[in-house]
Structure formats: structure tokens, C-alpha cells
Structure 1
Amino acid sequence: MSASQVVLLLSIGYIIFTIDKKQKNLPVPVLLLLTGMILSFVPYFATIQVSETVIYDVFLPGLLFTSAYTYSPQALRKYAGIIGVLSTVGLISTALLLGLLMYVVAGWFFPISLAGAFLAASILTPTDPVSVVSILKQSSNDPSVADVVDGESMINDGTSVVLFGVLAGMYVNSQSFHIWSFFGEFLYVSIGGIVLGLGIGWLCSRAVHITHHKQYQVMLSIVTAYGIFHLAEHLGFSGVLATVTAGIMISWEFDHMNKEDHYREALAGFWDVVEPSLLSLVFLLIGIEATKYLTSISWILAIVIFMGSVVVRFMVVAASMQLFSGWREFIDWKRASLISWAGIRGTMSVFLLLSLHAQLLGKGDQLLSISFAVVVLSLVLQSIGIYPLARKMVK
């Protein structure tokens, strides 16, 4: 991707953000995605190659850090139980149930192994609430649903990468599944990333005292967001969880510092500009890349799998809430439905799809195409439907 292409895509993103006055009814990410699909037919943009490395190494760290350091530590402490269950056991349960559904349903359309079905399901389980969290907060005076959806998405990205890695090894290399090896790897990757994030996040929150120049504080936040991500990956830990934990740690430390220091405001002045810029690029690129996979698929199958994924997520969310006595009264079936519908597939799912494409070397095109179609349906339909659903269900 050339510099001129990047500038043009940013310009398109700027125009869409500027003219979209109805973001509640038609969120910007949806417009960006659809615009990217249109651009894929323009020869100048059709030459763009989107790799999993670009998504993972360039876009994810900045987006994750922004979400984490702006996330309320009080909300995380309050909803830690339900967030933790949904982003770990809930995600694995969702992948298991959705994988069984895909194995049965997709088998009527093309040959698919049980391992392939579980692999596709693991790609479709991580959530990306970027297009719905602000809508949820605007449509209700109760911020609990938005806090749970946002918190879950930050953590389940790390879980999904580990789950995908194990299942991809089984599917691509015909490796056998060992439950203790899986949990051992999961704990090592997860705990290592969290501990690293806590340590470096605390050090960086202390380091801002060295200088009161805002530009240097912003520089330090960039180093933190991308440095800890790649350091964790180099050590074999979860870069996702390391970055998220560091961001939350910095946010927590800022809440306990002298309010007159305005550290959070200094970071917001920079990251509030970077975030929409990254979102513009990533969703336009997703649209450009997705079109290549959507030319010859069964949309009936894609719709059935999409609907099934929503039902499966509702079952898991509703069951998870029954584990917490306070939530049985706090969240009824309406809120469970809203949290389920807000579980949109997005950036992480696309990264996992591109990673699988790189490993398959041209094989498994049907599996990739159907998965891409489900991601597109999720981004469009769930993003558009979240505002009217929230207004109807949460008074």
C-alpha cells in the first residue's frame, strides 16, 4: 500500500466522518466498510494487498490501547466477574456450539471437517464493539450494557488468538488436540501478557512525572502501546492482553494522581485523533479485502450461520449471567439480548481470517469466503440494528 493510497483513504474517512450526521442509525464503520467494497472495483485501490501483519502489528495495538486507557477502572472492577466469564469460558463455549452448528449446516453445501468447523467458529467469536459502544451509551441512561460489551471485547481478543492458534495447528498441520497442552499454553500466554502489562503500565504511569511537556507524555504513550505489544509477542505472551492491561493500569493510575496534572487530557488530545484515523483505514481496508472473498458464495448459508451465531451467543450470555446472583435481577432477558446483539465481529476476526489464508496457501477458500461473509453481515446488520434495539429494550 503506497503513501498516496493511504492519504486518499484517510481523506475518504474524513469525508465520511464529517458528513455522517446519523451515526446512531448508520454507524461510521458500516459506511466505511461499504465504501471499501465499492473502492475494490476501482483499479487504483484494487491493487491494495491487506496482510494479517498490517492488521495485527499496525492497527490493533493503537486501537486496543485507546479502548483500554479510556475504559473506566471502576466499571472493570464492578463487572469483572461477568466480563471474565464471557471473554474466556463464554468465548470457548460459543466456539464449541457454533462449530457444531457449522459442521452440521455447512456440510450440506460443501465438505467440511469438524476441525475446520471449529476453526471457523473460533474466528467468528471475538467481538469488536467499536461501532456500537457509543450508541449504547447514547441510547440508554444505564451504562452497564456498554461497559460489559466494551470490557469483554478487550479481553476476549487475547483468548481468541490462543484458541485460533491451537485449532489452526490441528486443521492445517493435522496436529492432535491435548486439553492440558491447550490450557497450559493459554495460561502461559495470558498470565504472561497480563503481568507484563501491569508492570510496564505502572512504570509508564510513573514515568510521566519526569516531564510535564505534553508532547513527551504522548510520545511515551505511543512507545507503551506499540512497544509492549511487540515485546509481549517476542516473549511468547499475548500482545493483546499486555497492551490492554497496560492501558487499564495507566487509566487506574491517572485516576489516583493529582487531577491538576491533566495527564489523561494530554493523551486524549493525541489518541482522539489517531483512533478515527486508524478506524477509517482499517474498515476501508476490510471492505476492499472482503470483496475478494464474496464473489461466489452461498449467501443462504452465510445468513443461516450468522443467525445461528447470534442465537448461540445469546444462549452463552444468558447462561453466564445466571452464575452471578446480582446479575439475575440486574439484567433480564432483554439486556441479555442486547449484549448478544452487540457482539459484532470486526478487526480481530479479519486478522484471524487473513492469518488462516496465509497458512492455507490457497486451500480452504470456501471456509474463508463463508467466514468473511458472516463478518460482513455482522458488521452491517448488527451495527445498524443496535440503536433501535437499544431504544426498544432499555428504557
Structure 2
Amino acid sequence: MNVTQVILLLLIGYIVFTIDKKKKNVPIPVVLLIIGIGLSFLPYFSSIEVTEKIIYDIFLPGILFVSAYEFSTKALRRHGPVLAALSTVGMVVMALVLGIVVYAAGGLFVNISLLGAMLVAAILTPTDPVSAISVLEEAADEHIAEVVDGESMINDGTSVVLFTVLVGIYTGEESFQFFGFLGEFLYVSLGGVAVGLLFGWICSKAVHITHHRDYQVMLSIIIAYGAFHAAEHIGVSGVLATVAAGLMLSYEFEHTNKEDHYREALSGFWNVVEPSLLSLVFLLIGIAATTTLASAHWLLVTIILFASIGIRFLIVSGVLGIFHKHRELERKKQAFLVSWAGIRGTMSVFLILSLHALSPEGSEMLLSISFPVVVLSLIIQSLGVYPLSKWLGDG
């Protein structure tokens, strides 16, 4: 991808953000995705090679940092048990049950192994509610938006560990051992959090020394990308490191008498960077997805998508039933909105591209299932968030 292509993609993103007046009914990521699919038919853009490194090393740290930095630590404390349950045990259960469904349904259309089905499920379990959060905050209870946003930040780290273990088994490089998986999960997850907290704490103290706003912005870039790559370098979760660093910075700002001063400088910068990153990433997802859409078994893809929403609803409903003592009807409404807003996106695309880069036997068939589900999820679920939020809120 050359500089001219990047500039043109940014220009398209700017135009979409500028003229899209109905962000609720037609979320911007959906528009960008569809435009990206259209661009893939133009030779100039179809030559762009979208790799897992571009998504993981360039886009994810910035997007995750903004989400974490803007996420209230009070909300984290309020929903901590729910977020922890959904992002760990809930996610593993989701992958297991969805894998069985993919295996059972997939067998009617393609020749897929149980392990391959589990790998598809691991790819589809992380959520990316970029297109849903702003709508949920306005149309639904803010607590629902907090749960969806908080879960998506944390479960990205879990998804990488789960995918890594499963793809190792799938390629024959390792065998599954429960305690080995648990040990790796704890090391990668807790190690990433520790690195992020340390980075965030050190840099939050340095912010107080750096009085010039431009230098404070420079420091925030170091936090976002430095924590990520430092964690990855020592073999722990860069995703969770960036999230933890952003949360730590937010926490430190909340406990200073100059919070508005610091947030004004950083928000002015990241409020420009975030839509730029989102414009590029959703356009690139559209460009990268096109080759798999033509060969997709759309009935199977639709079954998997709605099965994943249904399974997620049962898990979320169970978790909310344990930790939130609402009336059953109210809990069901919340669970359904949280489930529907769990849209597949950037992290799923990274995992798909990672599998593509490894090119194990049968991977093309797994990609032809996974990528269309992500595209369908982005379109159908994003478009449904606002009407469902209003309908359930008025009901």
C-alpha cells in the first residue's frame, strides 16, 4: 500500500464522515465496508495487500487505546465481574458451543473437521462494536454500552490466546493440554495487563512533568504503541497491554485536579486519529473480503451468524442473571442488546489474515466461511442496533 493509496482512502473516509447525516440508521463503518468492496473491483485498489501485520501493528493499538482511554474506570469497577466473566469463561464457552454448531451445520455444505470448526468459532468470538457504541449510548441504557465496549476491549486478548492454541493444534505443531492452555492464557493475559499498567503509570506521571500539550500528545502515542510492542516483544498480550495502559492513564487523569486540561489536549489529537484509522481499516476490510464473498455458502454463513447471536444471548443472559439482579424481562432485553451489539470486526479480520498467512491445508475453506460471516455481521448487526435499541427501550 503506497502513500497515494492511503491518502485517497483517507479522502474517501473524510467524505463519508462529512456527508453521512444519519449515523444512527446507517452507521459509518457499514458505508465504508461497502465502499471498500466496490473499490476492490478497481485495479488501482485491488492491488493493495492487506496483511495481518498492518491490522495488528498499525491499526489495533490506536483504536484500542482510544477505547480504553475514553472508558470510565468507574464503569470498569461497576461492571468488572460481568466483563471478566464474558471475556474469559463466557468467551471459551461461546467458542466451544459455536464450534459444535459450525461443525454440525457446516457438514451439510462443506467437508469441515471439528477442529476446523473450532478454529472458525475462535475467529468469530471477539467483538468489535465500533459502529454500535455511539448508537447504544444515545438510544439505550448507558450501562449496556459500557458492557459492550468494556467486553470488546478485554476479549480481544482472550481471542488471540484461544486462536493461537487452536491453530497450533490444527497445523500439528502442538497438542492440546488443558493445564498448558490455562498456563499460557494466564501468562499472556496477566503479563500483558502488568506491562500495560506499568507503562500507563510511568507515562501518566511523565505527563505531569510535560506541561506543553504537544509533548503530552507525543507521550500518549508512546503509551499506545509502546506498551503494545513492548508486551509483544516479551511474548505477552500487546492488546491487553494497550488496553491496560489506556485505562491506567484514564484513572490517573480522574484523580488529578487538572483532568480537563490533560484530556483536552489528548482528545483533540485522538479524535482526529480515531476516525482516520477507522476509515482506513473498514475500507481495507472491504477490499480484503471481496475474494471470499464470491465463493461463500451464504445459507451456511447466515446460519452461523444467527447461531452465534443466539449462543451469545444465552451466555450473556446467564452472566447478567448471576451478577445483575434485574427483573427477568429487563435482563432479557439487556442481554439481547448486548448480544446483538457484539459485532465481529477488526480482531476477527486480523485472525482471518493470520490464518491466511499460515496457509495450512484447508484454510481457504475456513476463510470462505469466516470472512463472509464478519462482513454479514458488520452489515446486519450494525444496521439493526438503532431500531432494536429504540424498540426494546420503548417496549
Check conservation: 2:253, 2:259, Cα contact below 8 A: no
The superposition leaves residues 167-198 of structure 1 with CA deviations (integer Å, 9 ceiling, x where unpaired) of 00011126321000000000000111111111
Between the aligned partners of 2:363 and 2:269, the Cα distance in structure 1 is 41
Residue 262 of structure 2 corresponds to residue 259 of structure 1? no
Check conservation: 2:293, 2:368, Cα contact below 8 A: yes
Q: 1:176 to 1:273 in 2, by over 3 A?
A: same
Check conservation: 2:281, 2:346, Cα contact below 8 A: yes
Alignment-derived partner of residue 178 in structure 1 = 177
Between the aligned partners of 2:314 and 2:326, the Cα distance in structure 1 is 15
Matches within 5 A, 1:337-356: 337-356=336-355
Alignment-derived partner of residue 93 in structure 1 = 93
Between the aligned partners of 1:145 and 1:330, the Cα distance in structure 2 is 15
Among the aligned pairs, what percent are the same residue? 61
Q: 1:322 to 1:349 in 2, by over 3 A?
A: same
Between the aligned partners of 2:53 and 2:145, the Cα distance in structure 1 is 30
Check conservation: 1:27, 1:384, Cα contact below 8 A: yes
Alignment-derived partner of residue 36 in structure 2 = 36
Say how many residue pairs are matched. 394
Q: 1:230 to 1:320 in 2, by over 3 A?
A: same
Alignment-derived partner of residue 61 in structure 1 = 61
The superposition leaves residues 305-361 of structure 1 with CA deviations (integer Å, 9 ceiling, x where unpaired) of 111111111111111112215356695211111000000000000000000011125
Check conservation: 2:123, 2:352, Cα contact below 8 A: yes
Alignment-derived partner of residue 312 in structure 2 = 313
Between the aligned partners of 1:260 and 1:190, the Cα distance in structure 2 is 29
Amino acid at match of 1:25: N
Alignment-derived partner of residue 221 in structure 2 = 222
Alignment-derived partner of residue 7 in structure 2 = 7
Between the aligned partners of 1:185 and 1:233, the Cα distance in structure 2 is 14
Of residues 295-304 and 243-252 in structure 1, the stretch that sits farther from structure 2 once superposed is 295-304
SS of 1:323's partner is helix
Alignment-derived partner of residue 138 in structure 1 = 138
Alignment-derived partner of residue 126 in structure 1 = 126
Between the aligned partners of 2:159 and 2:104, the Cα distance in structure 1 is 22
The superposition leaves residues 50-70 of structure 1 with CA deviations (integer Å, 9 ceiling, x where unpaired) of 000000000000000000000
Check conservation: 1:149, 1:342, Cα contact below 8 A: yes
Alignment-derived partner of residue 368 in structure 1 = 367
Check conservation: 1:30, 1:383, Cα contact below 8 A: yes
Matches within 5 A, 1:203-242: 203-242=202-241
Amino acid at match of 1:367: L
Amino acid at match of 1:125: T
SS of 2:25's partner is coil
SS of 1:326's partner is coil
Q: 1:233 to 1:12 in 2, by over 3 A?
A: same
- Give the TM-score taking structure 1 as reference length: 0.98
Check conservation: 1:335, 1:394, Cα contact below 8 A: no
The superposition leaves residues 191-248 of structure 1 with CA deviations (integer Å, 9 ceiling, x where unpaired) of 1111111111111110011121000000000011001100000111100000000100
- How many Å apart are 1:111 and its aligned residue? 1.0
Between the aligned partners of 2:388 and 2:46, the Cα distance in structure 1 is 36
Runs of 5+ unmatched residues, structure 2? none
Q: 1:234 to 1:30 in 2, by over 3 A?
A: same
Amino acid at match of 1:123: I
Amino acid at match of 2:191: G
Residue 290 of structure 2 corresponds to residue 280 of structure 1? no
Q: 1:11 to 1:60 in 2, by over 3 A?
A: same
Runs of 5+ unmatched residues, structure 1? none
Alignment-derived partner of residue 17 in structure 2 = 17
Alignment-derived partner of residue 300 in structure 2 = 301
Between the aligned partners of 2:362 and 2:209, the Cα distance in structure 1 is 53
Alignment-derived partner of residue 335 in structure 1 = 334
Between the aligned partners of 1:90 and 1:363, the Cα distance in structure 2 is 28
SS of 2:325's partner is helix
Between the aligned partners of 1:261 and 1:70, the Cα distance in structure 2 is 13
Between the aligned partners of 1:284 and 1:184, the Cα distance in structure 2 is 37
Of residues 338-347 and 307-316 in structure 1, the stretch that sits farther from structure 2 once superposed is 307-316
Residue 114 of structure 2 corresponds to residue 114 of structure 1? yes
Amino acid at match of 2:313: F
SS of 1:173's partner is coil
Check conservation: 1:172, 1:360, Cα contact below 8 A: no
Between the aligned partners of 2:202 and 2:260, the Cα distance in structure 1 is 17
Amino acid at match of 1:23: K
Check conservation: 1:55, 1:351, Cα contact below 8 A: yes
Alignment-derived partner of residue 199 in structure 1 = 198
Of residues 106-115 and 51-60 in structure 1, the stretch that sits farther from structure 2 once superposed is 106-115
Between the aligned partners of 2:90 and 2:237, the Cα distance in structure 1 is 19
- Give the TM-score taking structure 2 as reference length: 0.98
Between the aligned partners of 1:276 and 1:60, the Cα distance in structure 2 is 13
Alignment-derived partner of residue 48 in structure 2 = 48
Amino acid at match of 1:350: V
